[in-house]
Structure 1
Amino acid sequence: MDKLKYERPYIKKLTAGAMNKFGSLSGPQPFKFIDNVPVKSLVEAYGSPLFVISEKQIRRNYRAAYRAFSTRYPKVQFAWSYKTNYLNAVCNIFHQEGSWAEVVSGFEYQKALGNGVPGNKIIFNGPGKSKKDLLLAIENNSLIHIDHLEELGLLLSLCDGLDHQPKVAIRVNMDTGVYPLWDRFGFNYENGEAWRAVVKIVNSGKLQLAGLHCHIGTYVQTTTAFGVAASKMAALAIKCNTELKQHIEYLDLGGGFPSTNTLKGAYLPGTDTMPTIDDFAEEITGTLIRAGFENDDLPLLILESGRLLIDDAGYLLGTVLANKRLSDGKLATIVDFGVNILFTSFWYDHQVSPADDYSPTIENTAIYGPLCMNIDMIRESINLPLLKAGDHVVVHKVGAYNMTQWMQFIALRPAIVLIDEQEQVHLIKAAESLEHIEANEHIPRHLK
């Protein structure tokens, strides 16, 4: 009888992890495929680090969100938030699904036009619109959301001599019970500033007040705040109709819905604690339906959700560079991506999964990026198997903001690929090169 093969004994650390309603959370599992495409093949073809976007997940998210609102309210329109992720390929997925464009700068406005969005389906938000921006928006019949009195004054002056009234809305800020208040933007509801702006617009005779807009914050974790916002917006719309005989066509409730990422310092994971899109839809639509509008006169409900629709459709693939022990004995793993391309690691405890088979030994680990800054921390503390140089890892739910707010600092920005619904891979943004970085540099003759 052959002897059994010798296996070296090992000690496995007990890591029960946080608890949820199903019991203890399991440890990390190898994450080898994204939409059935091997992680290893993606890295081999496009390099490391690498952003990967799932078209299938984007469409799934959008349809679920639209269904949540449209099954509860008769008139719903989404407008894709360009600042969340303005890669043209990403934007066009949303536009194919029926989404308008919501932009906050002349740069984003030009991108929306370039993506073929009709001017009257572009919502122009933001406090920094230039004269040139406003003229372009007027020319294209876009919905201009006014942020402050100076902008209103400039817009009124640009309307002299026009043969039509540009469609506008005002942004309204208010107390919804979420603090600190987002009162930097727009006109305040409680002190009457919003009403005075409305009166000035209507009395000018130069602008058509088509809507009212609010955006109460970001990553709002309570549905009741949106209920308060919807109630105050509806009251303002009804007051416009009764006192000024001004019909409000739409109410734009903005965005700010959270994804299921786990915020730093949270006791439980975001998947267990964040309200669902159905929860938000129930609160908002129920409030509007009960607000007192005539049954046939409900305003169009516009939503500008960004993060919720794309966060979990984005992944960041990376490679382990080295391991070391910190002065307190804690294991530190160094990877080839840092906060320059994953700045949301300042906000979230991102899930990080090994993409290769690994040993059963689990250890509490800090994950650092390659930058020469002590703040280049991806995770301060995470239970991971022992990874070796050359192993690949996958960071989850990185689709929002990282690809619009990344920086070229020390390392070049990586490529981005899209996996379509047929599981085919497309390069949608090439990795940067030195030529890209130096293209706009000019050296004075005396320094050559």
Structure 2
Amino acid sequence: MFLHGTSRINESGHLEIGGCDTVQLANQYGTPLYIVDEQLIRQKMRAFVGAFEKTGLPFQVGYASKAFSTLAMCRIVDEEGLLLDVVSDGELYTALHAGFPAERIYFHGNNKSPFEIEYALDAGIRLFVADNFIELEMLQVLAEQKGKKANVILRVSPGVEAHTHAYIQTGQEDSKFGFDLSSGQAHQAALQAYHASHLNLEGFHCHIGSQIFETEAFRLAIDKMARLAKECYEQYGIQTRILNVGGGFGIRYEENETPRPVEQYVQTIASAVTRAFQRLPQIPEIWIEPGRSIVGEAGTTLYTIGTVKEVIGVRKYVAVDGGMTDNLRPALYQARYEAMLANRAAEEADETVSIAGKCCESGDMLIWDIELPRVTQGDLLAVSCTGAYNYSMANNYNRIRRPAVVFVQNGEADLVVERETLQDIISQDRIPKRLLRKEQVKTNESQLSKTL
């Protein structure tokens, strides 16, 4: 397994992250356990900011909170001075509850509800990334009702297909996201927003996909967005003050993958914007919104190995105490991961096994065909690069409890999300009175009388 950030194999032969022995973390917090390397997160954020500072261009780096959103994560984003991209009332509530400044929050999403728009307007967020005509109309009506003016940028589908999994391509014409460029929708939306009395059109947004290793697609998308900006300026007098080119920068899930350095992505974007906008009155402020590339490599999931099943001559299945409830990506995207035995990290691999989850699904497989030392029940398996879209997508299938999350740095571990309890699993359940047993009815009536 490729070691990221502060990860190392310590003198005890255990995997250590952030100066914390993972075996001790398992003993203290249980498994499955999400372990997050706080120092690596901050390094990634600073790398993006530093790379843009070298260009001398106006810029903003926004963290895409859909990748991993908790109160503690919002505090780190705030301390590092980034913007925050939210896509739901839940993510907005988390940010505001963490004390994140509303004026540095912007709201994404292809189906924002009236409640979400009102909530964001009342909070005073920086802007909305408008995704469709219905949203533009709702923004105008709700902002007018509140006597406010909503800042917007328009999400555009530029017709650029990034080389990645089909489920995480978002820039092609056939996408649920954004105003289509080739049909003229983007021009129509720009004109509508520009003339709306309670909207302030600040620019455009595009996002071509996720887990992208090459840079050419960014250049192509920027060229198309600049052409749109030029036409809107020449035809309608609209100036593009912000150009958000999205995120999607790839990370190394497996050792043979070679993502570009942050500086290369940023330099490509900066050069493309400078060249493409040179004939317009101003170069827009460049926004990017990395998520996975900030938190992905900083996350490690720790499991305890349980049962082992060997199909002679075919495969050896090793089951862990988690699976698709804490990491849905292999089932959803056929995502691939590396792993090691955290309690025997220095030992050489001597067998090939497949890592199975504990859910009642044949498709609950975390890793197919990985080489490990001969495993035994009770060993600890550490799966790397689980910081993005693992906790975010965690679920309660089979009524399995979601794991705890700890941040580690300088030998200290802080619990930032508690492990769900069995009571948490049923906390929102209700039994209609007609289904209660007689003794349950009496108990409920007795409890009700005590509260009155």
Q: TM class by shorter-chain length?
A: 0.7 to 0.9
Superposed displacement of residue 176, structure 1: 1.8
Distance verdict in 2 for CA 1:37–1:164, change over 3 Å? closer
1:98 deviation in Å?
0.7
**Distance in 2 separating the partners of 1:159 and 1:332:** 57
1:281 maps to 2:266: yes
- Contact 1:219-1:259 within 8 A present in 2 as well: yes
CA contact (8 A) 2:19 2:408 kept: no
> Please, which of 106, 114, 131 is the counterpart of residue 123 of structure 1?
106
Q: 2:321 aligns with which of 317, 336, 346?
A: 336
C-alpha separation between the residues in 2 aligned to 1:294 and 1:132? 41
Matching residue within 33, 36, 41 for 1:53 = 36
* Aligned-partner Cα distance in 2 for 1:252–1:419: 32
Once the two structures are TM-superposed, the CA of residue 119 in structure 1 deviates from its matched residue by 2.5
Q: Equivalents in 2 of 1:446, 1:117: separation in Å?
A: 46
- Cα distance in 1 for residues equivalent to 2:44 and 2:349: 36
Q: Does 1:317 align with 2:322?
A: no
Q: Mark the CA change 1:361 to 1:97 in structure 2 (over 3 Å): closer, same or farther.
A: closer
Partner of 2:162: 178
Tell whether 2:369 aligns with 1:352: no
State the alpha-carbon separation in 1 of the partners of residues 278 and 359 from structure 2: 56
Residues 16-95 of structure 1 mapped to structure 2, 5 A cutoff = 31-95=14-78
Find the counterpart in structure 1 of residue 284 from structure 2: 299
- TM-score by length of structure 2 reads 0.86
Distance 1:184 1:283 in 2: 27
The alpha carbon displacement at 1:30 in A equals 5.6
Question: Superposition pairs for residues 196-235 of structure 1, below 5 Å?
Answer: 196-235=188-227
* Residue aligned with 1:281, SS: helix
Report the CA distance between 1:206 and its aligned residue.
Answer: 3.0
- Of 94, 103, 120 in structure 2, the residue corresponding to residue 137 of structure 1 is 120
8 A Cα contact 2:33 2:301, kept in partner: yes
The answer (yes or no) to whether the contact 2:38–2:408 under 8 Å persists in 1 is yes
Q: 82, 93, 96: which is aligned to 1:99? A: 82
Q: Which runs of 5+ in 2 are unaligned?
A: 2-11, 167-171, 437-452
**Residue 381 (structure 2) pairs with residue 393 (structure 1):** yes
CA distance in 2, matches of 1:112, 1:162: 23
**Residue equivalent to 2:402:** 413
Change beyond 3 A, Cα 1:386–1:209: same
SS at match of 1:312: coil
CA distance in 1, matches of 2:161, 2:396: 38
2:251 — aligned with what? 259
SS for the counterpart of 1:135 is helix
Aligned to 1:22: none
Kindly provide the CA deviation profile for residues 186-213 of structure 1, in whole angstroms up to 9, marking residues without a partner as x. 1111221101111122223331101211
CA-to-partner distance for each residue in 1:175-194, whole Å, 9 max, x for gaps? Answer: 22437626321111122110
Separation of aligned partners in 1, 2:92 and 2:190: 25
Aligned to 1:9: none
Aligned residue pairs total 413
| Cα deviations by residue, 1:328-385 (Å, 9 ceiling, x for unpaired) | 3422212212111112233332111112337656111111122222111111111111
Q: What does residue 372 of structure 1 align with?
A: 360
Deviates more, 1:373-382 or 1:157-166: 157-166
Which position in structure 1 is the counterpart of 2:142? 158
- Displacement, 1:124? 0.8
Please state how far the C-alpha of 1:295 moved relative to its aligned partner: 9.3
The alpha-carbon distance between structure 1 residues 171 and 44, as it changes in their structure 2 partners (threshold 3 A), is: same
- The alpha-carbon deviation at position 432 of structure 1 amounts to 0.7
CA displacement at 1:401 relative to structure 2? 0.8
Check conservation: 1:73, 1:285, Cα contact below 8 A: no
Aligned residue identity for 2:404: A
Question: Is 1:239 aligned to residue 231 of structure 2?
Answer: yes
Note closer, same or farther for the CA distance 1:240–1:320 as it changes in structure 2 (3 Å cut): same
Residue of structure 2 in register with 1:25 after alignment: none
Contact 1:173 1:187 in 2 (8 A): yes
The alignment partner of 2:376 has SS state of coil
Per the TM alignment, residue 163 of structure 1 is displaced from its structure 2 partner at its CA by 4.8
Give, in whole Å, the separation in 1 of the partners of 2:196 and 2:361: 54
2:93 is matched with 110
Other-structure match for 1:21: none
Give the distance between the partners of 2:327 and 2:161, measured in 1 at CA.
Answer: 31
Whether the 8 Å CA contact 2:155–2:177 is kept in 1: the answer is yes
Closer/same/farther in 2, CA of residues 235 and 115 from structure 1, 3 Å limit:
farther
> Is the CA contact 2:14–2:23 (under 8 Å) kept in the aligned structure 1?
no
> CA–CA distance in 1 between the matches of 2:227 and 2:98?
36
State whether residues 34 and 300 of structure 2, in contact with CA within 8 Å, keep that contact through their aligned partners in structure 1: yes
Task: Say whether the 8 Å CA contact 1:320–1:389 is kept in structure 2.
Answer: yes
Moved more, 278-287 or 131-140: 131-140
Provide TM-score, normalisation by structure 1. 0.87
Residue 80 of structure 1 contacts residue 91 of structure 1 at CA under 8 Å; is this kept in 2?
no
How big is each residue's C-alpha offset from its partner over 1:309-329, in whole Å with a ceiling of 9 and x where there is no partner?
A: 001110111111132211534
Return the alpha-carbon distance in structure 1 between the equivalents of residues 253 and 347 of structure 2. Answer: 27
Indicate the larger mover: 388-397 or 411-420.
Answer: 411-420
Q: Distance in 1 between matches of 2:308 and 2:146?
A: 66
Give yes or no for contact 1:354–1:393 (8 Å, CA) kept in 2. Answer: yes
Q: What letter is aligned with 1:375? A: G
Q: Work out the CA distance in 2 between the residues paired with 1:286 and 1:199.
A: 28
Residues 153 and 368 (structure 1 numbering): CA distance in 2 closer, same or farther, change over 3 Å?
A: same
Say whether the 8 Å CA contact 1:255–1:306 is kept in structure 2: yes
Residue by residue over 1:34-72, the C-alpha shift from the partner in whole angstroms, topping out at 9 and shown as x without a partner, is 122111110111111111111101001111122223312
Q: Is the 8 A contact 1:105 1:128 kept in 2?
A: no
Structure 1 CA distance, aligned partners of 2:57 and 2:285?
8
TM-superposed deviation, 1:141 = 4.6
